[in-house]
Amino acid sequence: MPQVHLCEVGPRDGLQNAKHLMSTEAKKAWIAALADAGLREIEVGSFVPPKLIPAMADTAEIVAFSRKIAGVKIVALAPNLKGFQRAVEAGAHKVTFPVSASRLHSESNVRMTPEQMIEEVHRCVSHPHPGVEIEGAVSTAFGCTMQGEVPEDDVVRIAAELASFCDAVALADTVGYANPAQVKRIFSRVREKIGGKLEGAHFHNTRGLGLANALAAYEVGVRAFDSSMGGLGGCPFAPGASGNVITEDLVFMFESMGISTGIDLAKLFKAREILVSAIPEEPVYGHTPVAGLPKGFRAAA
C-alpha cells in the first residue's frame, strides 16, 4: 500500500481551465497512461453546462471509458443536482462538490451563500446514488482573491457541516493563497472536528508554495493529495489563480523522501508526453521532468 494517495486532477481542474481543448481520444489516452503510471484516483471531468465549459462536454463519455480501467477510482465534479445525476448515471465512483468558504466567491461563482450551497449539496445527495462516494470540497479554504482573508472558523464550520452527510471532506487552496503555517493550523483544526472524514488536500502553485504546503499537510497527517500533471489548471472565477501543484514534482518529493506513492516516475513522464503532444500550445510546468531524476535515484520501497 502506498503511504500517500494521489488524485490526479489534470483532466478536470487542468483541462477545464486550459486555453486549449483536448480531444476526447487524447483524454482517453492520457487517462489510460496516468492509470498505467500508478495513479489510483483520477478526477476525469465535471458535469457542468457544456455551453459554459466546452472542455468538459465529453465528461460522460470519459467517465464511461475510465471506469473500465481496473483499480482506479474515477471522480467527477458536480456543482448541482443536474450535474450530480449525470455523474451517477455516467458511472462515476466518486462525486466531488465544491463549496466555497468565501462568501463573496460563493455568491459570484454559484450565486448562493456557502450555507445555501451546503443545503444544495445535501439535497443532491439525498437522491439515489448507489455505491457512489460523496466528497465535500471546501474551496477558497485558505483565502480568496475577492474577499481576501477567509475566517478559519468559517472553514471549520463548513467542513463539519459537510462531514455530517458526506463520505469525505477535502480542503482546497483554490487561488494559491495558502502558506505552510496556515496549512498545518487549518488541517489540524478540521481534523480535530471531523477526524478521519478529512481526506484530501488540494493546493495550487500560484505563488510557488505548492510543494511546501503539501509537505506541511503531510507533516500534520494528511495522506491524500490532489495534483495536476504539468501544473495545469486554476480557477477561471479567480483571476491569477493558475496552476495546480505539479504531480511530477509532488511524486518526486515524496518518493525521494522515502514515502511511497505507488507511482512510477518513468511512466509518469511518458503520460506527460501524451499531455504535451495533445495540447502543445498549453504551458506545462514541472521541474523534475526537465531536470531528470538524480543520479542513483531510488524510488521509495
Q: Measured from the CB of residue 92, what is the shortest distance to its own copies in angstroms?
A: 31
Q: Report the C-alpha gap between 136 and 166 in whole angstroms.
A: 6
Choose between 119 and 149: whose C-beta lies nearer to its own copies: 149
- How many angstroms separate the Cα of 68 from the Cα of each of 40, 74, 205, 281? 13, 10, 32, 30
- Residue 81 or residue 300: which is nearer to its own copies going by CB? 300
Q: Kindly state whether residue 252 participates in binding its own copies, applying the rule CB under 8 A.
A: yes
In the complex with its own copies, the residue whose CB is nearer, 241 or 274, is 241
According to DSSP, the residues that pair with 144 across neighbouring strands are 148
Stretch that binds its own copies, among 48-56, 113-121, 124-132, 257-265 (CB under 8 A): 257-265
| 194 touching its own copies, by CB under 8 A | no
What does the alpha-carbon distance between residue 194 and residue 148 come to, in Å, rounded to a whole number? 26
- Enumerate residues 6+ apart whose C-beta is below 8 A from 209: 176, 178, 179, 180, 203
CA 95 to chain CA centroid, nearest Å: 12
Least distance from C-beta 290 to its own copies, angstroms? Answer: 8
> Are the CB atoms for 83 and 61 separated by under 8 Å?
no
* Contact of 100 with 139, CB cutoff 8 Å: yes
Amino acid at 276: V
Of the residues 7, 144, 166, 235, only one is catalytic, namely 235
Q: How many CB atoms lie within 10 A of CB 151?
A: 12
Q: Binding segment for its own copies among 17-25, 33-41, 109-117, 289-297 (CB under 8 A)?
A: 289-297
**Cβ 75 vs Cβ 84: under 8 Å:** no
Q: Does 215 bind its own copies (CB under 8 A)?
A: yes
Residue 207 binds to its own copies (criterion: CB under 8 A): yes
Residue in the block written with cell 489540524: 188
Binding residue for its own copies, selected from 109, 147, 227, 247, defined by CB under 8 A: 147
Interaction between residue 263 and its own copies (CB under 8 A):
no
Q: Minimum Å distance from CB 247 to its own copies?
A: 11
33 lines the binding site for its own copies (CB under 8 A): no
Binding region for its own copies (CB under 8 A) out of 48-56, 109-117, 132-140, 199-207: 199-207
Residue 211 binding its own copies, by CB under 8 A: yes
Nearest 10 degrees: Cα torsion 201, 31, 270, 171: -10
Number of residues that bind its own copies (CB under 8 A): 45
What is the spatial distance between Cα 169 and Cα 282, in angstroms, rounded to a whole number? 31
From 45-53, 129-137, 173-181, 267-275, span contacting its own copies (CB under 8 A) = 173-181
H or E element, residue 202: strand 198-202
Residue with Cβ nearer its own copies (147 or 228): 147
Cα first-last separation, the chain: 10
**Known catalytic membership, residue 235:** yes
| Site of interaction with its own copies (CB under 8 A) | 143-149, 175-177, 179-182, 205-209, 211-212, 214-216, 219, 240-243, 246, 249, 252-253, 256-259, 286-288, 291-292, 294-296
| Catalytic residue annotation | 235
